[in-house]
Amino acid sequence: MRLVASCYESLFFRKEIYKLKTDTIAAIATAMSNAGLSIIRISGENSLEIIDKIYSSKSGKKKISAQNSHTIHYGYIMDGEEIIDEVMVLLMKGPNSYTREDVVEIDCHGGIVVTKKILEIIIKNGARPAEPGEFTKRAFLNGRIDLSQAEAVMDIINAKNDMALKSSVCQLKGNIHDKIVKERNIILRDIAFIEAALDDPEHIDIDGFSDELSKHVKQVIFDLNHLLETTDNGKILKEGIKTVILGKPNAGKSSLLNILVGEDRAIVTDIEGTTRDTLEESINLGGVILNLIDTAGIRDTKDFVEKIGVEKAKETALDADLIIYVVDASRELDKNDEEILRLMEGKKAIVLLNKMDLKPIIKREDLKLVTNQLIIEVSAIKREGIDTLEKSIEDMFFQGELKFNDEIYITNIRHKHGLEESIKSLNQVISSVELGMPEDFYTIDLMNAYESLGEIIGESVGEDLVNTIFREFCMGK
């Protein structure tokens, strides 16, 4: 039963692996600027003792440590006999708090000097400055949230649009956690049965179990693949659509960027080669961020600086989620267009036949002979066809459905890796069953799959990885 025992031991991973700190930490939880109020947060075993030392009730009530949890108190922060500020103090006793420790939050006036002064007084009376993300790290180590929920906290803070925010909130509520735990439990039950049968063959018959195991594993693989299929949309929800605008010089790329952004961000002239470097802007398109990158016109050039810009444009196109190829309808196609078409191969792309307000030399039918991409006729200068472009992008990435539901989206590359490794191990189980391998071979790969899923929710990850994740958090969170 060694493997089964190790499965259950992983449930106590956080306590076993880490020497969980219980000292008292403090940090300013709001931005350092002149504002209506600031919040200083304290957490740890001496939180109540510290607040008792520095807080004086305006009504003469007894010490805060003697008050009921989840109450708010009005009074002063004191440095000895000196009043520093008039404050509200929120008391949340563990384990019913964010960190599951005693937590105190001080709402003071939002001046930079007074906020820093209060933090200094707290530290002078026994706390230490918190590390970035240490409050959330303690919530994770104390078992209040799992690692995927902790990551969702930072995703909420960094959300760039409503869709990303809703996805992160669902993750914080535990939708990824619940799904991963469900699949892990199926794997765990099969491991337990196999090992019990191997340890006690007289009472537990394993004959024919391989067929049942195969059904279970195939269903788990199906479920995990469904999650994995959401990673592309998840990346778009979180980071936006990396959209590279390509074309020859003076095709109208910069004019298109300015129209989509809604202001003159790119310089537009009749001189070819005006744009020599990439220019990046973001817009909200139907609830999703479109990260637009205007590039130097693709052409052979002897100008050293322009040549660097052309090469950078080609490199940028390699990582694009979407390429918008702007074609000047008033000029013939040439070898530069052929190079752009090669850059578009294997990519999602839209061809804009621009300057249709002029006498066109190139027609839609001409472009259809050289590309099978979507072609839209536009006039950037007259802002014609732009609505069609925006609708086409929505259809291309979301089949016209941009409404968010409670479906799980995998937005984290670490989660994607865990799913891929688990599926790989489970496929090995199927191969072992088909080859008629001994049952103890199954448990090795089942355990690997179990642990790979555990990495997603933080049941089996190293201390270095956890520290790296929380170092990316903002101070005071």
Lowest mean pLDDT among 148-162, 176-190, 368-382, 401-415: 401-415
Domain ranges of the chain: 25-139, 155-230+410-471, 238-398
Cα–Cα dist 140/466, whole Å: 10
Q: If residue 366 lies in a helix (H) or strand (E), which one and from where to where?
A: helix 364-368
List, as own/partner pairs, every contact residues 193-202 make where C-beta atoms lie below 8 angstroms and the sequence separation is at least 24, other chains included. 194/439, 194/440, 194/442, 194/443, 194/446, 195/1, 195/2, 195/3, 195/4, 195/443, 196/1, 196/4, 197/439, 198/439, 198/440, 199/1
**CA gap 327, 330 in Å, rounded:** 9
Tell me which of 89-98, 151-160, 292-301 is least confident. 292-301
25-139 under CATH 3.30.1360.120, yes or no: yes
Cβ neighbours of 337 (radius 10 Å): 23
Owner of token pair 């930490």: 25
Q: Which CATH number fits domain 155-230+410-471: 1.20.120.430, 1.10.10.10, 3.40.718.10, 3.40.190.10?
A: 1.20.120.430
pLDDT tens column, 400-422: 444 555 578 888 889 999 999 99
The neighbouring-strand residues paired with 27 are 41
pLDDT digits (tens, 9 = 90+) for 171-223: 888 899 999 999 999 999 999 888 888 777 777 777 778 889 999 999 999 99
Q: Strand, coil or helix: what is 198?
A: helix
pLDDT on residue 138: 92
pLDDT digits (tens, 9 = 90+) for 442-455: 889 999 999 999 99
Pairing of strands 288-294, 241-247: parallel
- Global pTM reads 0.73
| Cα dihedral across residues 350, 351, 357, 363: positive or negative | negative
Q: Is the pLDDT of residue 9 over 60?
A: no
State which fold the 238-398 domain adopts: Rossmann fold (3.40.50)
Strand order in the sheet with 241-247: 279-285, 288-294, 241-247, 322-328, 349-354, 374-377
- Residues whose CB is less than 8 angstroms from the CB of residue 260 and which lie 6 or more positions away in sequence, other chains included: 281, 283, 290, 292, 386
